[in-house]
Amino acid sequence: MTDSSSPRKALVVGATGIVGQTLSAQLASRGWQVTGLSRSKTLELPGVVSIQADLQDPEELKAALAGIDPELVAITAWTRMNTEEENIRVNGGAVRNLLNALNPGPVRHVALMTGLKHYLGPFDNYATGVLPDTPFREESPRLDKPNFYYAQEDELFAGAERMNATWSVHRSHTIFGFATGNAMNMVLTLSAYATICREQDMPFIFPGSETQWNGVTDVTDAELLGEQIIWAADSENGHNQAFNIANGDAFRWRTLWPKIAAHFGVKWEGFSEAPRPLATQMTDVAPLWRGIASKYGLIEPDIDRIASWWHSDSDLGRNIECLTDMNKSRKAGFLQFRDSTDNFFNYVERYRKANILP
């Protein structure tokens, strides 16, 4: 990419998500002119202009994107459907519609965020059959089963070639981050759970599998992911490549869980005999959270905008070790990292300062 006296332009798709919000703020802080695209919400961040359009509506997209002319396009959005066939149709189609709606001339790089289902398989066939060994490496062949991540990649490759642009794919693990109005966030979900446990004098029970409790795992900091996307857009070594993105360390939940409990002042229980999902533990807690929000003067009384029990259950309930290799990214020149334990508690304190947690 070339320097210019005028601000560089970026389009962040899925701007209200945990990664989209983070990346939008990072780009704006670096002087980029940022447009954040979402389907139904606006993003209130300094230096970010929000637009709304449905990725399934090509004509609406073209109208919304007219005159935007971004240099960097970052796709951080996806929609979960009931079947993988529908996931492929909707999410592959979203990438195709988006890239078709853009004026191809100004676009120089398109970044796509995906995840570890690239290695583990889709929701319909999750962690079944022959899987690659951990730590997962980018050179592993695609699994022999339909996967919407593959459909998104194929649309990315075709669209980038048509636009004469470079591309990058960023495969993240469970994301730790700071975002408002977005519940698919393990830090905030577990923090809300711990808060409810403290208020109700309940034990803080690990909801997941024995494998996740005892096994080694890693996570992805949303800010680290944003840094990698920006690096890939500007680095020749980042062009036309897929990269894993994780913090670069590893931990066990049996070690981190007691630390979270101590931070919130609650008693804890680890894995015992079978998973105890949050979706079951936290049934009908909406009135309870409204009471907590009122008691402490919190800005968000709706637990559904704070916590996503099913999402954390899916990550913590896996019966397979999930660990990613970061060597390809390091060899290419991206050397940033995070300490995952510090990462978790730093975000807890940010949520407290923002009056989202007590």
Query: Around Cβ 283, how many Cβ atoms within 10 Å?
Result: 9
Cα separation of 44 and 41, whole Å? 10
Bridge partners, residue 170, by sequence? 113, 243
Determine the Cα–Cα distance for residues 222 and 178; give it in Å rounded to an integer: 8
Asked if 324 and 132 count as a contact pair (C-beta separation under 8 A), the reply is no
Task: Work out whether strand 72-75 and strand 48-52 pair parallel, antiparallel, or are unpaired.
Answer: unpaired
Phi and psi for 261 in degrees, rounded to 5?
A: -60, -45
Annotated active-site residue 117? The verdict is yes
For residues 20 and 358, what is the distance between their CA atoms, to the nearest angstrom? Answer: 25
- Which residue of the set 9, 41, 62, 117 is catalytic? 117
Estimate the crossing angle of helix 148-163 against helix 93-101, to 10 degrees: 20
The 3-state DSSP class for residue 334 equals coil
Listed in sequence order, the residues at least 6 apart from 22 whose beta carbon sits closer than 8 Å to its beta carbon are 177, 178, 179, 222, 223, 225, 226
d(C-alpha 339, C-alpha 37), whole Å: 31
Of the candidates 178, 176, 127, 169, which has an alpha carbon nearest to the alpha carbon of residue 150?
169
The phi and psi torsions of 2 (rounded to 5 degrees) equal -105, 155
> In the annotation, is 149 catalytic?
yes
149, 150, 347, 351: the active-site residue: 149
The amino acid sitting at 228 is Q
Catalytic residues: 117, 149
